[in-house]
Amino acid sequence: MSTTIAKTLDLKGLACPLPIARTAQGIRELRSGELIEALATDPGSVPDFAAWCRATGTELVEQNEDGGVYRFLIRKK
Amino acid sequence: MMETHVEAEKAAEHVPHQKLVIFAWSGDLDKVWPTLILATSGAAMGMQTTVFFTFWGLFPLVKDEVRITGENWMQRLLSTMDRPGLEHLKLGRMNFAGAGPAMMRKLAKEHHVASPTELIDLAKDLGVKLVPCQMTMDLLGLSREDMIDGLEEPTGATTALLEAQDAVTLFV
């Protein structure tokens, strides 16, 4: 299992559905097991990332918030 | 028996729905917009997503630079009264002769909400199938040349309903 972040997506300022859609696009080129980090400011992205991970069977490894920026660390299935 | 049930439940929990079919009937900006938001979100979460465009829903698929569509005067008059193209859509309410949509687009830009044109491109990239209704194309006198690239072959209601049989369906 990789612990280094393969890719970071800056999704700050974007509104629904872009944070999720850009993540779905960005995760394509990753290999299974690799980590992707998504940074968003849309508060709606918190439940949406949880729902997206649940729907796609993707693991949400870590989630935190710092100064209005939500950080999601996701492992590609 | 019990085990199968539990396994099925587990599977259902993992992938709640595999398919999404949206019947896009309206050509109003405030209906086309959420349709595209739902379609792109569905595709992003791995749902096999199809949008079937019918009746007024077809005009948003006409290229923005095409001003008048139709082969006879009635069809031409329709496109004159209701300018086709994603960039020319009207609001279903509070249109105020175009002031409403202009304000809505300005607000959307300020709030970094993707425009319908951006969402259509995103939808294509995410593999959303955009299917025009053949019958309405004939009714409105729309040709494939009038319409944007990247659409599926036009089909009928039966094909659309077959696709919808095991899908979450929405009529917008």
List, for residues B32-80, the tens digit of each pLDDT value.
999 999 999 999 999 999 999 999 999 999 999 998 899 999 999 888 8
* Residue A35 bridge partners (DSSP): A5, A75
Task: Lay out the sheet containing B129-132: strands in order across.
Answer: B129-132, B48-53, B19-24, B168-171
> Which residues in A lie closer than 8 A to residue B46 (C-beta atoms)?
55-56
Cα dihedral B35, B37, B43, B46 sign: negative
> Which residues in A lie closer than 8 A to residue B126 (C-beta atoms)?
21, 24-25
Q: How would DSSP label each residue in B120-168?
A: HHHHHHTT-EEEEBHHHHHHHT--GGGBPSSPPPPB-HHHHHHHHTTSE
Whether the pLDDT of residue B1 is over 80: the answer is: no
Three-state DSSP class for residue B89: coil
Question: Are B126 and A25 a contacting pair at CB < 8 A?
Answer: yes
Q: Which residue of chain A has the CA closest to B125?
A: A25
Mutate to test the interface with A, among B10, B112, B128, B168 (most CBs of A within 10 A): B112
**Mean pLDDT rounded to a whole number for chain B:** 89
- Rounded average pLDDT over B16-32: 92
Question: Are B126 and A15 a contacting pair at CB < 8 A?
Answer: no
Distance CA A43, CA B79 (A): 40
Question: pLDDT tens digits, residue range B152-167?
Answer: 999 999 999 999 999 9
In terms of C-beta density within 10 A (0-12 exposed, 13-18 middle, 19 or more buried), how is residue A30 classed?
A: middle
Task: Determine how β-strand A35-40 pairs with β-strand A5-11.
Answer: parallel
Q: Is A16 a catalytic residue?
A: yes
Q: Which pLDDT does position B15 carry in this prediction?
A: 54
- Rounded average pLDDT over B102-131: 93
From the list A15, A16, A24, A69, the catalytic residue is: A16
CB pairs under 8 A between A and B: 49
Three-state DSSP class for residue A54: helix
B56, B144 in Cβ contact below 8 A? Answer: no
A74, A19 in Cβ contact below 8 A? Answer: no
Q: How would DSSP label each residue in B10-57?
A: HHHHH-S-SEEEEEE----HHHHHHHHHHHHHHHHTT-EEEEEE-GGG
Q: Which pLDDT does position B17 carry in this prediction?
A: 64
- CA distance to partner chain B, nearest, from residue A4 (Å): 24
Q: Which residue of chain B has the CA closest to A21?
A: B44
Quote the percentage of chain B above a pLDDT of 70. 90
Question: pLDDT tens digits, residue range A18-69?
Answer: 999 999 999 999 999 999 999 999 999 999 999 999 999 999 999 999 999 9
**Pick from A39-43, A65-69, B23-27, B91-95: least confident:** B91-95
